[in-house]
Amino acid sequence: MGFYREGRVLVIVHGTRSPRDLEWATFLKEMQSYPPRQPLRVLTYSHGGGPDGRQRRMATDLDMDPERNQYVMVALLTGSTVMRAMGAALSWYLRHMKVFGLDADAEAFKFLGLTAEETVRATAARKRIEREVEISRP
Protein backbone atom coordinates (compact mmCIF):
# COMPACT_ATOMS: atom_id res chain seq x y z
CA MET A 1 0.00 0.00 0.00
CA GLY A 2 1.11 3.52 -0.71
CA PHE A 3 -0.59 6.90 -0.49
CA TYR A 4 -0.03 10.59 -1.15
CA ARG A 5 -2.07 13.64 -0.18
CA GLU A 6 -1.97 17.02 -1.82
CA GLY A 7 -4.54 19.59 -0.85
CA ARG A 8 -7.96 18.03 -0.53
CA VAL A 9 -7.09 14.90 -2.57
CA LEU A 10 -5.70 11.70 -1.05
CA VAL A 11 -4.55 9.03 -3.53
CA ILE A 12 -4.15 5.45 -2.26
CA VAL A 13 -2.87 2.42 -4.16
CA HIS A 14 -3.29 -1.11 -2.80
CA GLY A 15 -1.33 -4.00 -4.26
CA THR A 16 -2.63 -7.56 -4.17
CA ARG A 17 -2.65 -7.99 -0.37
CA SER A 18 -4.07 -6.25 2.68
CA PRO A 19 -1.94 -3.41 4.02
CA ARG A 20 0.30 -4.06 6.99
CA ASP A 21 -1.03 -2.69 10.27
CA LEU A 22 1.68 0.00 10.36
CA GLU A 23 0.82 1.12 6.81
CA TRP A 24 -2.87 1.33 7.70
CA ALA A 25 -2.20 3.19 10.96
CA THR A 26 -0.01 5.70 9.08
CA PHE A 27 -2.75 6.19 6.50
CA LEU A 28 -5.41 6.76 9.18
CA LYS A 29 -3.12 9.23 10.92
CA GLU A 30 -2.85 11.16 7.65
CA MET A 31 -6.65 11.16 7.36
CA GLN A 32 -6.96 12.48 10.92
CA SER A 33 -4.41 15.23 10.23
CA TYR A 34 -6.71 16.74 7.60
CA PRO A 35 -8.58 19.78 8.95
CA PRO A 36 -12.05 19.03 10.34
CA ARG A 37 -15.08 20.34 8.48
CA GLN A 38 -13.16 20.41 5.18
CA PRO A 39 -14.05 18.26 2.16
CA LEU A 40 -11.52 15.45 1.62
CA ARG A 41 -11.51 13.48 -1.65
CA VAL A 42 -10.08 9.95 -1.39
CA LEU A 43 -9.13 8.24 -4.65
CA THR A 44 -8.41 4.56 -3.96
CA TYR A 45 -6.96 2.16 -6.51
CA SER A 46 -6.97 -1.55 -5.63
CA HIS A 47 -5.12 -4.20 -7.58
CA GLY A 48 -6.89 -6.87 -5.53
CA GLY A 49 -5.82 -5.93 -2.01
CA GLY A 50 -7.37 -3.69 0.56
CA PRO A 51 -7.98 -3.32 4.27
CA ASP A 52 -8.99 -6.37 6.28
CA GLY A 53 -12.14 -6.37 8.42
CA ARG A 54 -10.51 -4.80 11.48
CA GLN A 55 -8.85 -2.12 9.35
CA ARG A 56 -12.14 -1.33 7.59
CA ARG A 57 -13.84 -0.90 10.97
CA MET A 58 -11.12 1.55 12.00
CA ALA A 59 -11.80 3.58 8.83
CA THR A 60 -15.58 3.63 9.29
CA ASP A 61 -15.13 4.68 12.92
CA LEU A 62 -13.04 7.61 11.71
CA ASP A 63 -15.65 8.61 9.13
CA MET A 64 -18.48 8.52 11.69
CA ASP A 65 -16.61 10.47 14.41
CA PRO A 66 -19.05 13.31 15.27
CA GLU A 67 -16.24 15.39 16.77
CA ARG A 68 -14.49 15.69 13.41
CA ASN A 69 -17.59 16.40 11.32
CA GLN A 70 -15.44 15.34 8.37
CA TYR A 71 -16.88 15.33 4.88
CA VAL A 72 -15.09 12.52 3.04
CA MET A 73 -15.84 11.34 -0.48
CA VAL A 74 -14.32 8.03 -1.59
CA ALA A 75 -13.93 6.64 -5.09
CA LEU A 76 -12.74 3.02 -5.16
CA LEU A 77 -11.34 1.89 -8.51
CA THR A 78 -10.75 -1.85 -8.84
CA GLY A 79 -11.01 -4.79 -11.19
CA SER A 80 -11.36 -7.24 -8.30
CA THR A 81 -14.80 -8.77 -7.70
CA VAL A 82 -13.95 -9.21 -4.01
CA MET A 83 -12.92 -5.56 -3.64
CA ARG A 84 -16.02 -4.39 -5.52
CA ALA A 85 -18.19 -6.33 -3.05
CA MET A 86 -16.21 -4.93 -0.11
CA GLY A 87 -16.63 -1.42 -1.51
CA ALA A 88 -20.36 -1.92 -1.88
CA ALA A 89 -20.57 -3.08 1.74
CA LEU A 90 -18.45 -0.15 2.94
CA SER A 91 -20.69 2.28 1.11
CA TRP A 92 -23.42 1.44 3.64
CA TYR A 93 -21.24 3.12 6.30
CA LEU A 94 -19.26 5.64 4.29
CA ARG A 95 -21.99 7.94 3.12
CA HIS A 96 -20.19 9.31 0.06
CA MET A 97 -18.50 6.31 -1.54
CA LYS A 98 -18.78 4.85 -5.03
CA VAL A 99 -17.07 1.88 -6.72
CA PHE A 100 -15.67 2.10 -10.27
CA GLY A 101 -13.69 -0.12 -12.65
CA LEU A 102 -9.91 0.08 -12.28
CA ASP A 103 -9.43 2.34 -15.29
CA ALA A 104 -12.55 4.50 -14.87
CA ASP A 105 -10.48 7.50 -13.81
CA ALA A 106 -12.58 10.10 -15.62
CA GLU A 107 -15.80 8.92 -13.96
CA ALA A 108 -14.15 8.80 -10.52
CA PHE A 109 -12.67 12.29 -10.95
CA LYS A 110 -16.11 13.61 -11.91
CA PHE A 111 -17.77 11.89 -8.92
CA LEU A 112 -15.20 13.47 -6.57
CA GLY A 113 -15.56 16.86 -8.22
CA LEU A 114 -11.84 17.22 -8.90
CA THR A 115 -10.50 20.21 -10.79
CA ALA A 116 -8.40 19.78 -13.94
CA GLU A 117 -5.25 20.50 -11.91
CA GLU A 118 -6.26 17.97 -9.26
CA THR A 119 -6.83 15.27 -11.90
CA VAL A 120 -3.35 15.82 -13.36
CA ARG A 121 -1.77 15.61 -9.90
CA ALA A 122 -3.84 12.58 -8.90
CA THR A 123 -2.89 10.73 -12.09
CA ALA A 124 0.81 11.48 -11.53
CA ALA A 125 0.52 10.38 -7.88
CA ARG A 126 -1.12 7.09 -8.92
CA LYS A 127 1.68 6.30 -11.35
CA ARG A 128 4.37 7.19 -8.81
CA ILE A 129 2.78 5.09 -6.05
CA GLU A 130 2.26 2.13 -8.39
CA ARG A 131 6.00 2.21 -9.17
CA GLU A 132 6.82 2.44 -5.45
CA VAL A 133 4.65 -0.55 -4.53
CA GLU A 134 5.83 -2.37 -7.65
CA ILE A 135 2.52 -2.61 -9.46
CA SER A 136 3.08 -3.31 -13.15
CA ARG A 137 0.44 -1.98 -15.49
CA PRO A 138 0.12 -2.58 -19.24
pLDDT per position as a tens digit, 11-50:
999 988 889 999 988 988 887 787 777 778 999 999 988 8
Q: What is the identity of the amino acid at 67?
A: E
Whether the Cβ atoms of residue 12 and residue 44 lie closer than 8 Å to each other: yes
3-state SS assignment for residue 11:
strand
pTM of the entire predicted model = 0.85
| Other C-beta atoms lying within 10 Å of the C-beta of residue 43 | 28
Phi, psi of 127 (to 5 degrees): -60, -45
Residues 58-77: tens digit of each pLDDT: 876 665 555 555 577 889 99
